[in-house]
Structure 1
Amino acid sequence: MKRIFILITVALFLSGALFAEEAILIDFGKLAADITVNDDSENAKPNQNRQTVMDYGQVAGGSYTEEQKGIMKTSLAITNWNVIFTSSSRTVTNEVVTYTREATSKQWGTVLGVRVHFPVEHFYSKAYIRPPFEIPAYEPQANIDDEGNTQPSDEDSDGITGPSRFEDGFGVVKNVGTIKAIAVNAYGLQFPHGLSVILLDSQGTEKSMFMGYLNYDGWAELTWNNPQYVLDVRNRELRIYPIYPTSTPFVKFNGFRLDRDADKEGGDFVAYFKDVKIIYDKAVLDTDRDIDDESLWGIIQTRETAKKVWEMKQFGQNQLLRYLEGQKQATENVFQPTPAGEQQ
């Protein structure tokens, strides 16, 4: 009986049935603002996403008060996402009327809505829809209160050897080998602009996959199929890799790219996005090993903790600069009238 089971398992593996995995890389329905942070006004509305709140006050340094550090929080809430033009298209006019918003879909619920004002001049233009910070791959699970304060979770997960906070539709998929296909649920309004998905792998390499054009009306699933994916395992290059201590590779969602060709109309462009899904090979098979190597040596823990610290520093520096710029920004919208007695 054992021999028959092994033969069946090998046959399934050779047919390619074992290594095909499907996962939602990012689901914008999960990124709706659901808590209110640093806004005590009477009509305050939710402005941050609870699951993805990040506190960059912990990397701000000692020159800031605890009160200042307390407001240094942000998240992957849809309204926090950035739309960045290439330098040739980056004008004040274009940037002021380019932004993201939560949109309500009858079919999907909350989705990412984006308005982009491309240049009206006839030249090729690109715009990138980016998350407000590089999505961390090693952020541990946490309990987050209504003010955005984070506390360690009761779950036994450090974000390294266990699940991280940004998995399961929040931007990270781990144990990813070769990607077979990518799909995006996107709502088009018959604009002839191109759409690409941008991924970031565990080596820090950014890759852009062209999904197609948004020249249709309504929801559609745009799909990219990897032209270099070898379906028949017999035609693959077979290699043997050390099992331990090898870090598990991952992919992060790093944004969309929108392309407007030079001969197409510029000006306002609107689109909506529900999610991004991937089909991929597992990098490492899940097995029941005789010895728990990591609990004995802790090599991966040490290595990935260093990466996590680096991720946090990168995130914190960028967010801190934005906070400082916001503190310096003028708050007056109009000139205050001069009292009559003080007029010259």
Structure 2
Amino acid sequence: MRAFPGRQPVRRATLAAADPQATAELIRQVYVDLDVRVRRLGPDLRHRISTVEVDQVAADRVDSSQFDMRAATEPFANLTAFVLRQGRTRVRTGRGSTHQEAIPQVGQGCLYPHDRPVTIDYPYGEPPVTGRTEISVSSLRLPWTTVARLAEESTGLPAADLRFTALQPLPRAAAHWYRTFDFVHRQLLAPQTVLAHPLVAENMAATLAAAALAAFPNTTMAAARLPPPGRAAPAAVRRAVDFIEAHADVPLTLTHIAAAVRTSPRALRDAFLRHLDTTPTAYLHRVRLERAHTDLLAADPARGADAGLAAERIAERIALRWGFADATRFTLAYQQVYGVTPGHTLRG
């Protein structure tokens, strides 16, 4: 039997600077190369970045005071998004007809373009008076390859053609984006982050990437004009089902599954919809829910590793093992399929 993957490394760091030159170097170290001007506005200049990283995603909390900065950056290597918690900032990119500018309010944010440099004023629009220059920002960083792969899997748009074309989310999708951003950010910065579990991190990264693709204008939104994909034979669907069943305990993407059965991600997705009325990723989710159900049936709160643990704690541990980060969502999904709560299954 394959050993279930253990927890992956979680890298935590808190970096601080107290003078203009060190502040500029700190920003370069964490984010991107840039030309930066930092000006001290008071005796207690500080810039502090708390960061948490796993292989799939990273979260930062930036707190600064008593300075102002203008930074002209290189294009960001990752998909990098931020939400403003305090203060004001301005982000600009392009010139002339391609010029874009965003001045988010507290609780709003931006997505830094992956293919274009930006200019950031930080803070923006506040008078240079000591005590009025505090700014606080939350940010998330996701590998660009994760986002591009998901875009190609779902629309057929080649990964190299993915571009985001606006700094801020569409109004109709903004609320969902900010809820997703806050959820992932909180989970990463928690003292015992659930993203140490590989399947949870995989799901979180995919959820964040999908939310970004749905919220921010990008080239996948014209994907309906792409030619239809090739057709995958039912035999490929059967092989994909077998592959999912055999590998549900390790991080899997649609690209992994399609490569295993020698077809394209989009063709396999359409074949699943045509023959099974579901998608490969939804089927994988269902298999993992079934495995969690099996583990709940086998768990014994009175014996072994389960001894002395409350039913809810055992259920939470099993949910994390199978990639379910949020206990409430796991319970709802479980009830929809099995008609009872995970705790009821344990006690039964």
TM-score (norm: length of structure 2): 0.25
Give the alignment's TM-score, normalised by structure 1. Answer: 0.26
- Taking CA–CA contacts closer than 8 Å with sequence separation of 6 or more, which of the two structures ends up with the larger relative contact order? 1
Task: Write 1 or 2 for the structure with the bigger share of helix.
Answer: 2
Bigger share in strand: 1
